[in-house]
Structure 1
Amino acid sequence: MPTWIEVTLRTFAAVAVLFVLTRLLGKRQVSQLSLFEYITGITIGSIAAFVSLEADETWFRGLISLIVWSAVSLGIEFLQLKSKKARDMLDGKAAVLIQHGKVLENNMKKERITSDELLELLRMKDVFNISQVEAAIMDTSGELNVLLKKEYQPLTPSDIKLPVTEEKIPMTIIMDGKVLEDSLRKVGLNVNWLNAELEHLKLSTNEIFLAQVDSQNQLYVDRYEDHIQQH
Protein backbone atom coordinates (compact mmCIF):
# COMPACT_ATOMS: atom_id res chain seq x y z
CA MET A 1 0.00 0.00 0.00
CA PRO A 2 1.40 3.46 -0.88
CA THR A 3 2.57 5.44 2.15
CA TRP A 4 0.25 8.38 1.50
CA ILE A 5 -2.80 6.11 1.43
CA GLU A 6 -1.70 4.41 4.66
CA VAL A 7 -1.15 7.76 6.39
CA THR A 8 -4.57 8.96 5.21
CA LEU A 9 -6.30 5.85 6.54
CA ARG A 10 -4.45 6.05 9.84
CA THR A 11 -5.44 9.71 10.20
CA PHE A 12 -9.10 8.92 9.60
CA ALA A 13 -8.86 6.08 12.14
CA ALA A 14 -7.18 8.34 14.71
CA VAL A 15 -9.79 11.07 14.21
CA ALA A 16 -12.63 8.55 14.58
CA VAL A 17 -11.18 7.06 17.76
CA LEU A 18 -10.38 10.51 19.14
CA PHE A 19 -13.94 11.68 18.45
CA VAL A 20 -15.46 8.70 20.27
CA LEU A 21 -13.09 9.05 23.23
CA THR A 22 -13.69 12.79 23.48
CA ARG A 23 -17.46 12.22 23.58
CA LEU A 24 -16.93 9.68 26.35
CA LEU A 25 -14.78 12.08 28.35
CA GLY A 26 -17.49 14.75 28.22
CA LYS A 27 -17.72 18.44 27.36
CA ARG A 28 -15.59 21.02 29.06
CA GLN A 29 -14.05 24.29 28.00
CA VAL A 30 -10.28 24.58 28.27
CA SER A 31 -10.67 26.96 31.23
CA GLN A 32 -12.69 24.30 33.07
CA LEU A 33 -10.18 21.49 32.68
CA SER A 34 -8.39 20.13 35.72
CA LEU A 35 -4.60 19.77 35.61
CA PHE A 36 -4.85 16.05 34.86
CA GLU A 37 -7.47 16.61 32.16
CA TYR A 38 -5.25 19.25 30.56
CA ILE A 39 -2.29 16.86 30.56
CA THR A 40 -4.50 14.08 29.20
CA GLY A 41 -5.72 16.30 26.35
CA ILE A 42 -2.18 17.22 25.30
CA THR A 43 -1.00 13.61 25.52
CA ILE A 44 -3.94 12.20 23.58
CA GLY A 45 -3.37 14.79 20.84
CA SER A 46 0.31 13.83 20.63
CA ILE A 47 -0.53 10.13 20.46
CA ALA A 48 -3.09 10.77 17.71
CA ALA A 49 -0.41 12.56 15.68
CA PHE A 50 1.94 9.60 16.23
CA VAL A 51 -0.71 7.15 15.01
CA SER A 52 -1.25 9.24 11.87
CA LEU A 53 2.37 9.68 10.87
CA GLU A 54 4.48 6.87 12.34
CA ALA A 55 5.89 4.84 9.47
CA ASP A 56 6.88 1.61 11.22
CA GLU A 57 4.63 -1.17 12.47
CA THR A 58 4.45 0.13 16.03
CA TRP A 59 1.80 2.70 15.13
CA PHE A 60 -0.97 0.36 16.30
CA ARG A 61 0.35 0.65 19.85
CA GLY A 62 -0.66 4.29 19.71
CA LEU A 63 -4.33 3.33 19.46
CA ILE A 64 -3.92 1.13 22.52
CA SER A 65 -2.26 4.02 24.34
CA LEU A 66 -5.15 6.33 23.36
CA ILE A 67 -7.66 3.92 24.84
CA VAL A 68 -5.60 3.41 28.02
CA TRP A 69 -5.20 7.16 28.61
CA SER A 70 -8.93 7.70 28.08
CA ALA A 71 -9.80 4.80 30.38
CA VAL A 72 -7.56 6.21 33.11
CA SER A 73 -9.17 9.64 32.68
CA LEU A 74 -12.66 8.13 32.90
CA GLY A 75 -11.63 6.19 35.99
CA ILE A 76 -10.33 9.33 37.67
CA GLU A 77 -13.52 11.24 36.81
CA PHE A 78 -15.57 8.42 38.34
CA LEU A 79 -13.38 8.52 41.45
CA GLN A 80 -13.88 12.29 41.70
CA LEU A 81 -17.65 11.83 41.52
CA LYS A 82 -17.50 9.43 44.45
CA SER A 83 -14.88 11.05 46.67
CA LYS A 84 -14.50 14.62 47.90
CA LYS A 85 -10.94 13.82 49.02
CA ALA A 86 -10.07 12.66 45.51
CA ARG A 87 -11.45 15.90 44.05
CA ASP A 88 -9.44 17.99 46.48
CA MET A 89 -6.28 16.01 45.78
CA LEU A 90 -6.56 16.04 41.98
CA ASP A 91 -8.24 19.39 41.34
CA GLY A 92 -7.19 21.32 44.40
CA LYS A 93 -9.45 23.64 46.36
CA ALA A 94 -10.93 27.04 45.66
CA ALA A 95 -8.89 29.87 47.16
CA VAL A 96 -10.39 32.92 48.87
CA LEU A 97 -8.42 35.98 47.72
CA ILE A 98 -10.67 38.68 49.20
CA GLN A 99 -12.82 38.23 52.30
CA HIS A 100 -14.95 40.88 54.03
CA GLY A 101 -13.38 43.45 51.71
CA LYS A 102 -9.81 42.54 52.78
CA VAL A 103 -7.24 41.12 50.35
CA LEU A 104 -5.72 37.93 51.79
CA GLU A 105 -2.07 38.28 50.84
CA ASN A 106 -1.05 34.83 52.13
CA ASN A 107 -3.63 33.11 49.94
CA MET A 108 -2.45 35.16 46.96
CA LYS A 109 1.10 33.96 47.57
CA LYS A 110 -0.05 30.35 47.75
CA GLU A 111 -1.82 30.74 44.40
CA ARG A 112 1.12 32.76 43.01
CA ILE A 113 -1.17 35.65 42.10
CA THR A 114 0.32 39.13 41.97
CA SER A 115 -1.53 42.35 42.76
CA ASP A 116 -1.53 43.26 39.07
CA GLU A 117 -3.04 39.90 38.15
CA LEU A 118 -5.72 40.25 40.82
CA LEU A 119 -6.69 43.68 39.53
CA GLU A 120 -6.76 42.35 35.97
CA LEU A 121 -9.02 39.45 36.98
CA LEU A 122 -11.34 41.91 38.73
CA ARG A 123 -11.49 44.11 35.64
CA MET A 124 -12.49 41.06 33.62
CA LYS A 125 -15.52 40.92 35.95
CA ASP A 126 -16.21 44.63 35.29
CA VAL A 127 -14.92 45.59 38.74
CA PHE A 128 -12.50 48.52 38.63
CA ASN A 129 -12.70 49.59 42.27
CA ILE A 130 -11.47 46.96 44.71
CA SER A 131 -13.21 48.76 47.59
CA GLN A 132 -16.54 47.58 46.14
CA VAL A 133 -15.62 43.89 46.56
CA GLU A 134 -16.98 41.92 49.51
CA ALA A 135 -15.39 38.60 48.50
CA ALA A 136 -13.45 37.07 45.63
CA ILE A 137 -12.82 33.36 45.19
CA MET A 138 -10.53 31.70 42.66
CA ASP A 139 -12.02 28.38 41.61
CA THR A 140 -9.96 25.35 40.64
CA SER A 141 -10.51 26.25 36.97
CA GLY A 142 -8.57 29.49 37.53
CA GLU A 143 -11.65 31.68 37.16
CA LEU A 144 -12.22 34.44 39.69
CA ASN A 145 -15.77 34.83 41.03
CA VAL A 146 -16.60 38.13 42.70
CA LEU A 147 -19.26 39.11 45.22
CA LEU A 148 -19.85 42.85 45.42
CA LYS A 149 -20.75 44.61 48.64
CA LYS A 150 -24.50 44.92 49.12
CA GLU A 151 -24.61 48.62 48.30
CA TYR A 152 -22.91 48.03 44.94
CA GLN A 153 -25.00 45.07 43.80
CA PRO A 154 -27.54 45.65 41.01
CA LEU A 155 -31.09 46.33 42.16
CA THR A 156 -33.45 43.41 41.58
CA PRO A 157 -37.29 43.25 41.56
CA SER A 158 -37.22 41.33 44.86
CA ASP A 159 -35.34 44.20 46.54
CA ILE A 160 -38.30 46.51 45.93
CA LYS A 161 -40.90 43.73 46.25
CA LEU A 162 -41.93 44.11 42.61
CA PRO A 163 -44.02 41.14 41.39
CA VAL A 164 -42.73 39.50 38.23
CA THR A 165 -44.08 36.83 35.93
CA GLU A 166 -42.32 33.52 35.40
CA GLU A 167 -39.58 33.76 32.77
CA LYS A 168 -39.05 30.82 30.46
CA ILE A 169 -36.28 30.05 28.02
CA PRO A 170 -37.12 31.45 24.56
CA MET A 171 -38.01 28.68 22.12
CA THR A 172 -36.61 28.59 18.60
CA ILE A 173 -39.53 27.94 16.24
CA ILE A 174 -37.93 28.66 12.86
CA MET A 175 -34.41 27.72 11.91
CA ASP A 176 -32.85 28.05 8.45
CA GLY A 177 -36.28 28.76 6.94
CA LYS A 178 -37.85 25.60 8.42
CA VAL A 179 -40.69 25.62 10.95
CA LEU A 180 -39.97 23.53 14.07
CA GLU A 181 -43.45 22.29 14.88
CA ASP A 182 -42.34 20.34 17.95
CA SER A 183 -40.98 23.56 19.45
CA LEU A 184 -44.26 25.34 18.72
CA ARG A 185 -46.21 22.64 20.54
CA LYS A 186 -43.90 22.86 23.56
CA VAL A 187 -44.90 26.49 24.10
CA GLY A 188 -48.60 25.83 23.46
CA LEU A 189 -48.70 27.39 20.00
CA ASN A 190 -49.37 26.06 16.54
CA VAL A 191 -48.65 26.70 12.87
CA ASN A 192 -51.85 28.74 12.46
CA TRP A 193 -50.67 31.21 15.13
CA LEU A 194 -47.26 31.43 13.46
CA ASN A 195 -48.77 31.98 10.00
CA ALA A 196 -50.94 34.78 11.36
CA GLU A 197 -47.93 36.48 12.95
CA LEU A 198 -45.85 36.15 9.78
CA GLU A 199 -48.72 37.45 7.68
CA HIS A 200 -48.86 40.53 9.90
CA LEU A 201 -45.11 41.01 9.32
CA LYS A 202 -45.57 40.31 5.58
CA LEU A 203 -42.98 37.54 5.71
CA SER A 204 -42.82 33.91 4.63
CA THR A 205 -40.87 31.20 6.45
CA ASN A 206 -38.29 30.83 3.67
CA GLU A 207 -37.28 34.48 4.24
CA ILE A 208 -36.45 33.83 7.89
CA PHE A 209 -33.06 32.65 9.13
CA LEU A 210 -34.06 32.37 12.79
CA ALA A 211 -37.21 33.02 14.83
CA GLN A 212 -37.85 32.67 18.55
CA VAL A 213 -40.84 33.16 20.82
CA ASP A 214 -40.46 34.16 24.49
CA SER A 215 -42.59 33.43 27.56
CA GLN A 216 -44.91 36.33 26.66
CA ASN A 217 -45.45 34.89 23.15
CA GLN A 218 -43.47 37.77 21.65
CA LEU A 219 -42.02 36.78 18.29
CA TYR A 220 -38.45 37.68 17.36
CA VAL A 221 -37.51 37.34 13.70
CA ASP A 222 -34.11 37.49 12.00
CA ARG A 223 -34.30 37.61 8.20
CA TYR A 224 -31.73 36.30 5.79
CA GLU A 225 -31.29 39.87 4.51
CA ASP A 226 -30.15 40.95 8.00
CA HIS A 227 -33.27 43.08 8.50
CA ILE A 228 -34.32 42.44 12.09
CA GLN A 229 -37.92 42.83 13.12
CA GLN A 230 -39.62 42.34 16.44
CA HIS A 231 -43.36 42.04 16.95
Structure 2
Amino acid sequence: MKLHNLILLIICLSITNKSFACKCVEYDKEKMVEYGLKKYDMVFYGELIKRDTINQTYSFKIIELFKGIFISKTIEGVSEGSDCGLFPDKKGLWIVYGNFNNDNKLSLSMCSPTQSQDFGLGWPPPPEFKRDKFGKIIEPTETDSEINYLKFNIETLRSFIYQLEKLRAYKLSQNKLPKNQKNVIYDKALIISLIINTLLFSMLIFILVKKRFSSNKQISE
Protein backbone atom coordinates (compact mmCIF):
# COMPACT_ATOMS: atom_id res chain seq x y z
CA MET A 1 0.00 0.00 0.00
CA LYS A 2 2.81 2.41 0.92
CA LEU A 3 4.62 1.55 -2.32
CA HIS A 4 1.46 2.27 -4.32
CA ASN A 5 1.05 5.69 -2.68
CA LEU A 6 4.76 6.43 -3.19
CA ILE A 7 4.37 5.78 -6.93
CA LEU A 8 1.42 8.18 -7.05
CA LEU A 9 3.49 10.83 -5.26
CA ILE A 10 6.37 10.45 -7.73
CA ILE A 11 3.94 10.76 -10.66
CA CYS A 12 2.44 13.94 -9.20
CA LEU A 13 5.89 15.46 -8.68
CA SER A 14 6.93 14.59 -12.23
CA ILE A 15 3.77 16.23 -13.58
CA THR A 16 4.51 19.37 -11.56
CA ASN A 17 8.05 19.56 -12.92
CA LYS A 18 6.88 19.02 -16.50
CA SER A 19 4.14 21.59 -16.19
CA PHE A 20 6.77 24.32 -15.72
CA ALA A 21 8.79 23.11 -18.71
CA CYS A 22 6.01 22.42 -21.20
CA LYS A 23 3.14 24.82 -21.80
CA CYS A 24 0.30 23.40 -23.87
CA VAL A 25 -2.67 25.14 -25.44
CA GLU A 26 -5.80 24.10 -23.55
CA TYR A 27 -8.67 22.60 -25.53
CA ASP A 28 -11.96 20.92 -24.67
CA LYS A 29 -12.02 17.14 -24.90
CA GLU A 30 -15.01 17.46 -27.23
CA LYS A 31 -12.80 19.46 -29.62
CA MET A 32 -9.57 17.46 -29.29
CA VAL A 33 -10.03 15.57 -32.57
CA GLU A 34 -10.72 18.77 -34.54
CA TYR A 35 -7.70 20.39 -32.85
CA GLY A 36 -5.46 17.43 -33.70
CA LEU A 37 -6.59 17.23 -37.33
CA LYS A 38 -5.95 20.94 -37.80
CA LYS A 39 -2.55 21.13 -36.10
CA TYR A 40 -0.82 17.86 -37.05
CA ASP A 41 0.24 16.49 -40.45
CA MET A 42 -0.10 12.78 -39.67
CA VAL A 43 -3.09 11.27 -37.88
CA PHE A 44 -3.55 7.53 -37.68
CA TYR A 45 -4.72 4.56 -35.64
CA GLY A 46 -1.87 2.12 -35.21
CA GLU A 47 0.13 -0.30 -33.13
CA LEU A 48 3.39 0.52 -31.39
CA ILE A 49 5.58 -2.42 -32.44
CA LYS A 50 9.06 -1.28 -31.44
CA ARG A 51 10.68 1.18 -29.05
CA ASP A 52 14.33 1.87 -28.27
CA THR A 53 14.78 3.65 -24.94
CA ILE A 54 18.51 4.25 -25.55
CA ASN A 55 18.15 6.03 -28.90
CA GLN A 56 14.63 7.26 -28.10
CA THR A 57 13.26 5.84 -31.35
CA TYR A 58 10.05 3.92 -32.03
CA SER A 59 8.03 2.32 -34.82
CA PHE A 60 4.29 2.23 -35.45
CA LYS A 61 2.38 -0.12 -37.72
CA ILE A 62 -0.34 1.98 -39.36
CA ILE A 63 -3.73 0.25 -39.15
CA GLU A 64 -5.93 3.10 -40.36
CA LEU A 65 -4.73 6.43 -41.78
CA PHE A 66 -6.95 9.48 -41.26
CA LYS A 67 -4.71 12.34 -42.38
CA GLY A 68 -1.48 12.52 -44.33
CA ILE A 69 0.06 10.60 -47.21
CA PHE A 70 2.32 7.71 -46.28
CA ILE A 71 3.04 4.73 -48.52
CA SER A 72 4.63 2.31 -46.05
CA LYS A 73 2.58 0.51 -43.41
CA THR A 74 5.35 1.14 -40.85
CA ILE A 75 6.35 4.62 -39.72
CA GLU A 76 9.53 5.48 -37.78
CA GLY A 77 9.62 8.13 -35.07
CA VAL A 78 12.06 9.76 -32.68
CA SER A 79 11.77 11.69 -29.43
CA GLU A 80 13.92 14.79 -29.86
CA GLY A 81 14.26 15.57 -26.18
CA SER A 82 12.29 18.81 -26.26
CA ASP A 83 10.29 19.92 -23.22
CA CYS A 84 7.03 18.82 -24.84
CA GLY A 85 8.40 15.78 -26.67
CA LEU A 86 6.51 12.51 -26.22
CA PHE A 87 8.12 9.06 -26.22
CA PRO A 88 5.49 6.27 -26.45
CA ASP A 89 5.89 4.22 -23.30
CA LYS A 90 3.95 1.02 -23.97
CA LYS A 91 3.47 -1.30 -26.93
CA GLY A 92 -0.11 -1.71 -28.08
CA LEU A 93 -2.82 0.24 -29.88
CA TRP A 94 -2.51 4.01 -30.20
CA ILE A 95 -4.24 7.00 -31.77
CA VAL A 96 -1.41 9.18 -33.01
CA TYR A 97 -1.18 12.86 -33.99
CA GLY A 98 2.27 13.91 -35.18
CA ASN A 99 4.46 15.96 -37.49
CA PHE A 100 7.62 15.12 -39.40
CA ASN A 101 10.98 16.57 -38.37
CA ASN A 102 13.80 17.60 -40.72
CA ASP A 103 14.94 13.97 -41.00
CA ASN A 104 11.45 12.89 -42.07
CA LYS A 105 10.93 11.08 -38.75
CA LEU A 106 7.65 11.24 -36.87
CA SER A 107 7.73 13.55 -33.86
CA LEU A 108 5.08 13.48 -31.12
CA SER A 109 4.10 16.08 -28.55
CA MET A 110 2.64 15.81 -25.07
CA CYS A 111 0.34 18.67 -26.09
CA SER A 112 -1.35 16.55 -28.78
CA PRO A 113 -4.38 14.29 -28.20
CA THR A 114 -2.13 11.26 -28.82
CA GLN A 115 -3.04 8.40 -26.51
CA SER A 116 -2.86 4.64 -26.16
CA GLN A 117 -5.76 2.28 -25.55
CA ASP A 118 -4.49 1.61 -22.03
CA PHE A 119 -3.31 5.06 -21.02
CA GLY A 120 -5.13 8.27 -21.83
CA LEU A 121 -4.32 11.94 -21.84
CA GLY A 122 -2.28 12.99 -18.83
CA TRP A 123 -1.78 10.99 -15.65
CA PRO A 124 -4.33 9.55 -13.25
CA PRO A 125 -5.02 11.95 -10.38
CA PRO A 126 -4.14 10.68 -6.90
CA PRO A 127 -6.99 9.44 -4.69
CA GLU A 128 -8.79 12.16 -2.76
CA PHE A 129 -7.63 12.48 0.83
CA LYS A 130 -10.37 12.03 3.42
CA ARG A 131 -10.45 13.42 6.94
CA ASP A 132 -11.79 11.92 10.14
CA LYS A 133 -14.06 13.77 12.56
CA PHE A 134 -10.99 15.39 14.15
CA GLY A 135 -9.79 16.78 10.82
CA LYS A 136 -6.88 14.36 10.55
CA ILE A 137 -6.06 13.15 7.03
CA ILE A 138 -6.90 9.49 6.45
CA GLU A 139 -4.32 7.79 4.26
CA PRO A 140 -5.88 6.27 1.09
CA THR A 141 -6.16 2.50 1.25
CA GLU A 142 -5.01 0.11 -1.46
CA THR A 143 -8.67 -0.32 -2.44
CA ASP A 144 -9.01 3.47 -2.87
CA SER A 145 -5.99 3.46 -5.19
CA GLU A 146 -7.29 0.52 -7.21
CA ILE A 147 -10.71 2.17 -7.62
CA ASN A 148 -8.98 5.37 -8.70
CA TYR A 149 -6.96 3.53 -11.37
CA LEU A 150 -10.07 1.68 -12.53
CA LYS A 151 -11.94 4.97 -13.02
CA PHE A 152 -8.99 6.35 -14.96
CA ASN A 153 -8.81 3.25 -17.18
CA ILE A 154 -12.54 3.50 -17.95
CA GLU A 155 -12.15 7.17 -18.87
CA THR A 156 -9.13 6.29 -21.03
CA LEU A 157 -11.09 3.67 -22.97
CA ARG A 158 -14.01 6.08 -23.43
CA SER A 159 -11.65 8.74 -24.76
CA PHE A 160 -9.99 6.24 -27.12
CA ILE A 161 -13.30 5.03 -28.57
CA TYR A 162 -14.60 8.61 -28.83
CA GLN A 163 -11.54 9.71 -30.79
CA LEU A 164 -11.64 6.66 -33.07
CA GLU A 165 -15.32 7.21 -33.90
CA LYS A 166 -14.77 10.93 -34.59
CA LEU A 167 -11.77 10.21 -36.81
CA ARG A 168 -13.67 7.58 -38.80
CA ALA A 169 -16.53 10.04 -39.27
CA TYR A 170 -14.00 12.59 -40.53
CA LYS A 171 -12.51 10.04 -42.94
CA LEU A 172 -15.98 9.19 -44.23
CA SER A 173 -16.70 12.88 -44.85
CA GLN A 174 -13.43 13.20 -46.78
CA ASN A 175 -14.44 10.27 -48.97
CA LYS A 176 -17.38 12.39 -50.10
CA LEU A 177 -15.07 14.98 -51.64
CA PRO A 178 -15.64 15.98 -55.27
CA LYS A 179 -14.07 13.58 -57.74
CA ASN A 180 -11.49 16.12 -58.96
CA GLN A 181 -10.16 16.64 -55.40
CA LYS A 182 -9.93 12.89 -54.88
CA ASN A 183 -7.97 12.64 -58.13
CA VAL A 184 -5.50 15.28 -56.92
CA ILE A 185 -4.87 13.33 -53.69
CA TYR A 186 -4.53 10.07 -55.63
CA ASP A 187 -2.13 11.67 -58.15
CA LYS A 188 0.10 12.98 -55.34
CA ALA A 189 0.24 9.55 -53.73
CA LEU A 190 0.99 7.95 -57.11
CA ILE A 191 3.82 10.40 -57.84
CA ILE A 192 5.40 9.80 -54.43
CA SER A 193 5.09 6.04 -54.92
CA LEU A 194 6.72 6.26 -58.37
CA ILE A 195 9.60 8.37 -57.02
CA ILE A 196 10.25 5.93 -54.18
CA ASN A 197 10.08 2.90 -56.48
CA THR A 198 12.44 4.59 -58.96
CA LEU A 199 14.95 5.33 -56.21
CA LEU A 200 14.75 1.77 -54.90
CA PHE A 201 15.18 0.36 -58.42
CA SER A 202 18.20 2.64 -59.02
CA MET A 203 19.77 1.51 -55.74
CA LEU A 204 19.20 -2.13 -56.68
CA ILE A 205 20.91 -1.66 -60.06
CA PHE A 206 23.82 0.13 -58.37
CA ILE A 207 24.27 -2.70 -55.87
CA LEU A 208 24.15 -5.36 -58.62
CA VAL A 209 26.67 -3.48 -60.79
CA LYS A 210 28.98 -2.94 -57.83
CA LYS A 211 28.73 -6.60 -56.85
CA ARG A 212 29.49 -7.73 -60.41
CA PHE A 213 32.44 -5.33 -60.64
CA SER A 214 33.86 -6.69 -57.37
CA SER A 215 33.48 -10.28 -58.61
CA ASN A 216 35.27 -9.50 -61.89
CA LYS A 217 38.05 -7.76 -60.00
CA GLN A 218 38.59 -10.80 -57.75
CA ILE A 219 38.70 -13.13 -60.78
CA SER A 220 41.27 -10.96 -62.58
CA GLU A 221 43.47 -10.95 -59.49
Q: Same fold (TM over 0.5)?
A: no
TM-score (norm 1): 0.24
> Larger % of helix: which?
1
User: Which is greater in Rg?
Assistant: 1
Higher relative contact order (CA 8 A, sep 6+): 2
Q: TM-score, normalised by structure 2?
A: 0.25
